[in-house]
Amino acid sequence: MSDDIIKDKKLWVPPRVYGVCIWIMPDGRPLSDGDGVLSAEGFVNDEKVEKRVAEAAKYWTGSEEGHVSWVQGARKITPGERDDQMERMINGLVADPYEDLFDGLSRPV
């Protein structure tokens, strides 16, 4: 996945500091158990987060094949938060009330 384009949707997403790290299988799909995707939140390209995701993926798949990828600007949410975000979006507001907060974050030195 490119840093600023979600390829399948041809959707431009500006670079963000914060995001969700996922494991991509050799077939190009995220590692999933059917209920969710193996993922961890953190600062984009944080090696510690990438290492945790890679270790978990290798444990669950029993294979070294695959790689980490970042979904910039994303965060994990509960089903309740998803409903709230849908309501905000329908009302013409920014769906995620934390978006501005995360945009203001800077990577720790």
Backbone angles phi, psi at 79, to 5 degrees: -55, -35
The count of domains in the chain is 1
Q: How far apart are CA 95 and CA 50, in angstroms?
A: 27
109 occurs within a structural domain? no
32 occurs within a structural domain? yes
85 occurs within a structural domain? yes
106 occurs within a structural domain? no
103 occurs within a structural domain? no
Q: How far apart are CA 91 and CA 103, in angstroms?
A: 22
pLDDT tens sequence across 68-98: 999 887 888 888 988 988 898 898 887 777 7
82 occurs within a structural domain? yes
Domain residues for 16?
5-95
pLDDT tens sequence across 17-71: 888 999 999 999 999 987 888 999 998 899 999 999 999 999 999 999 999 999 8
Q: With 0.75 as the threshold, say if the pTM is over it.
A: no
